[in-house]
Amino acid sequence: MPQKTWTKLPPWALLACRDILRAATANRRLVDILNEITDIITGLSDLDLAPSAALYIGECGQEGHRLLYHRHSDDLIFPLVIDPENISDSFPQGFGRASFYPVPLVIGEGERSIGSALFFGRTAKRMSAQKQTILMALAQEIARIIINRGGPSGTLIDLVELSTDEIYIFDPLSLAIVRANHTASIRTGHSLETLSRMTPAALKVDMSEAAYRAQIEPLLSGRCTSICFDARHRRRNGTVYPVKVQAWRIRSDEGDFYAEVAVTTADQRKAFGLLEQVFDAIPGGIGVFDKRSRLLMANRRLYDLMNIPPEQFPPGSRFEDILRYNATRGEYGDGNVEAMVRERVEQAELGLPYSFERERASGKVLAVRSEPLSGGGYVLSYTDITLRKRAEKELIRDRDELEATVRQRTAEIAAQAAALEEALKQEKTINAMQRQFVAMTSHEFRTPLAIIDGAAQRLMRKKGGIEPDFLVDKTHQIRAAVMRMVDLMESILSAGRIDTGRMELTLVDCSLKKLIEQAIHRQRMFSQNHRFQGFLEDLPDVIRCDALAISQVVTNLLGNAVKYAPRAPDVTIRGWREGEFAMISVQDQGVGIDADDIPKLFQPYFRARTSTGIAGTGIGLSLVKQVVTLHGGDIVLQSRRGHGSTFTIRLPIRGPVTVGTSLQLEEKAL
Ligand code: ADP
């Protein structure tokens, strides 16, 4: 289910989810975790939230949602309880100035809400519906963390509520009352809200905050776990009544509570009874031992967690007997029972605090902590952290999955960016090629047009009788120029077809020898200054190919052999067979090509340095190469500057193998 939400989130919210899970998987108190998570969420610039925020939790059997955690802003006071149905009305004043987002704390779609998270926009401008959905997804992570942490240790709070004595849980630093019970409100006449803005000292007659602090100093410094003193409380209406004050520091898995119990009778026994109740209400197991390691007092949970029978180990029992009982049952693993007992007793009696985690044979995980008492002795606490450990594992797994999602999404985005960049690069190359092409073709067409024009003008000037030789010569020039333009256009068209993947081969069985001879014949007509020598007897009789395309290839090579050898008249054409292949080579004695130009020669529009001063487009050879490749053959070149060139083509006699090519072949019987 969480993954389902994650897939809809933008990358910045995914990262926030990952950070939230990271914060939660650290082994820390819930309040610290909530603090960090609130930091993460209110710190997201995309959401533009104010730093103040609050988390409210519904408790069984209670109307409304109770304040679990909050962060003040100067102009905002959070009520202790809100009505989840009507959150805005729960705030007395200072409201409506900023945009306000109550978000239900649910662990997934269709689940019941366990409370509400309140966030505030930095300005009055409301965030978009899409961002509010993201805020809800983030709050969902908070809900899961609170549930995994087993809720805000409700039992102790319930007991405080039920007590018929005044109980104040207060903050040790500011002394501010963070929670007071209904009895306190009834006795003092102050509302719970007023009490939440007071300190226990303020309730007392003739006691300054400094005096109160001095009174509970042993508690704050950790020297004692409880302090008792007499005081007088003043009611809201001014009347005064005596109280016996018992102040406690109570350790719990969620951190230390500082609580004051104000008993109106001088009955110490009742206070002690209350202590026992408080002890029993603490979710963990607690045992107080004296300096000789005898059990003074223990709560029921201690017996449960240590899995020891209460009747066998009543107060007064020796710690080592309890340890021996467990060691004998194999609770501490294999080893010498007495040695294991001695080691543990010695550690406890050292008078130093220590803590460790232990997995029991049953799979239960316990956190064990020992705190020395000022007058000797120590308090042992056992907390069942099995669920927390399991939740931690789940959170770590969730976090890892989320990290994988983040990685995958990041990779997807990177791939998209790379593809875009590639497309952009291609577009740029195509643009450049087009510019180059337009410049070149316009230049290339101009030359034959000038020849035609020149020949026509000379014919016109002759007006009267034109000698047959003159006519033949000019007509010849015009035809050659036209032929050159037709060739040029054809190669441009073919190049375009190949570029767009629309080139189709029309395969026929044909005689390569005849095809080459025809090409030589055509070439002879236009290049009367050159001598063409053909050695074609060893060619196979027929090969399967696109006759037109191959004829164009040969014509191209012959044309180049003539063009790039203006002062070397001999062109040699050879044909032979090598296994399943027909071979054709065209050799000239012309300008040749520099070694470092050879690898680039078949690229479109590339022209070798030796071609300077000779007209050309750089299209022909790239076309030759592509036609040969489409046929499943290849072309190689041997050349040296000033020593001529030999182009050798290899074509499969049976035509191209079609598997894996995108060719559309059209079979035509010869
Ligand atoms: P074009 O001849 O129109 O420039 P091609 O694609 O046919 O275009 O040839 C590309 C380049 O290869 C030519 O510009 C030239 O530099 C070089 N080339 C091709 N054939 C020869 C040859 N027979 N001798 C020397 N250089 C050649």
245-280: pLDDT as tens digits: 888 887 665 567 788 888 775 454 455 566 667 777
Q: Which of 122, 150, 178 is the last residue of a domain?
A: 150
Residue type, 273: G
DSSP-derived secondary structure letter, 206? T
Whether residues 201 and 257 fall in one domain: yes
Whether residues 590 and 492 fall in one domain: yes
Give the domain range for residue 14: 3-150
Q: Is the pLDDT of residue 586 over 80?
A: yes
Whether residues 197 and 136 fall in one domain: no
CA gap 31, 170 in Å, rounded: 15
Which numbered atom of ligand 1 lies nearest the CA of 617? 3
Whether residues 144 and 160 fall in one domain: no
Whether residues 178 and 100 fall in one domain: no
DSSP-derived secondary structure letter, 466? P
Task: Assign residue 10 the CATH number of its domain.
Answer: 3.30.450.40
**Where are the extended beta strands (E) located within 281-322?**
285-289, 295-298
652 Cα–ligand 1 center, Å: 25
Which numbered atom of ligand 1 lies nearest the CA of 621? 6
Give the largest Cα separation in the chain, rounded. 149
Write out residues with Cβ below 6 Å of ligand 1.
Answer: 560-561, 564, 588, 590-593, 601, 607-608, 610-611, 616-622, 645
Domain assignment of residue 377, yes or no: yes
CA gap 495, 624 in Å, rounded: 10
CA gap 583, 575 in Å, rounded: 6
Q: Which one has a higher pLDDT value, 30 or 307? A: 307
The mean per-residue pLDDT over the stretch 579-592 comes to 96
556 Cα–ligand 1 center, Å: 9
601 Cα–ligand 1 center, Å: 8
Whether residues 79 and 182 fall in one domain: no
The mean per-residue pLDDT over the stretch 562-587 comes to 95
Domain assignment of residue 304, yes or no: yes
Whether residues 142 and 161 fall in one domain: no
Cβ(529)–Cβ(572) below 8 Å? no
Domain assignment of residue 375, yes or no: yes
Q: Which of 498, 523, 497, 519 is nearest to 510 (CA)?
A: 519
Domain assignment of residue 412, yes or no: no
Q: Mapping DSSP to helix (H, G, I), strand (E, B) and coil, where does residue 581 land?
A: strand
* pLDDT confidence bin for 439, thresholds 50/70/90: low
Residue of minimum CA distance from atom 11 in ligand 1: 607
Whether residues 112 and 179 fall in one domain: no
Residue 583, pLDDT score: 97
CA gap 103, 136 in Å, rounded: 6
User: Any residues with CB less than 8 A from the CB of 244 and at least 6 apart, and which?
Assistant: 228, 230, 262, 263, 264, 265, 266, 267, 268, 271
Q: Mapping DSSP to helix (H, G, I), strand (E, B) and coil, where does residue 536 land?
A: coil
The pLDDT tens digits of the residues spanning 628-653 come to 998 999 999 999 999 999 999 999 99
Which numbered atom of ligand 1 lies nearest the CA of 647? 23
User: Any residues with CB less than 8 A from the CB of 195 and at least 6 apart, and which?
Assistant: 168, 177, 180, 184, 185, 188
CA gap 138, 144 in Å, rounded: 10
Which numbered atom of ligand 1 lies nearest the CA of 586? 23
Task: Assign residue 325 the CATH number of its domain.
Answer: 3.30.450.20
480 Cα–ligand 1 center, Å: 19
Interhelix angle 620-630/547-563, nearest 10 degrees: 150
Domain assignment of residue 439, yes or no: no
Task: Assign residue 538 the CATH number of its domain.
Answer: 3.30.565.10
Residue with tokens 């998570």: 37
Residue 153, pLDDT score: 42
Whether residues 516 and 660 fall in one domain: yes
CA atoms within 13 A on the CB side of 185: 14
234 Cα–ligand 1 center, Å: 109
CA gap 245, 247 in Å, rounded: 6
User: Number of structural domains, the chain?
Assistant: 3
Whether residues 261 and 323 fall in one domain: yes
608 Cα–ligand 1 center, Å: 7
Residues written for the chain: 670
Q: Is the pLDDT of residue 63 over 60?
A: yes
* pLDDT confidence bin for 159, thresholds 50/70/90: low
622 Cα–ligand 1 center, Å: 10
The mean per-residue pLDDT over the stretch 483-499 comes to 68
Q: Ligand 1 pocket check: which of 494, 527, 601 to mutate, most ligand atoms within 8 Å of Cβ?
A: 601
Whether residues 201 and 85 fall in one domain: no
Whether residues 239 and 133 fall in one domain: no
Domain assignment of residue 448, yes or no: no
Domain assignment of residue 629, yes or no: yes
Q: Which of 131, 150, 169 is the last residue of a domain?
A: 150
Residue 442, pLDDT score: 64
Residue 443, pLDDT score: 59
Q: Which of 344, 365, 388 is the last residue of a domain?
A: 388
CA gap 236, 184 in Å, rounded: 12
Enumerate the β-bridge partners of residue 195.
Answer: none
- When computed from its CA atoms, the radius of gyration of the chain, rounded to whole angstroms, is 48
15 burial level (CB within 10 Å; 0-12, 13-18, 19+):
middle
Domain assignment of residue 437, yes or no: no
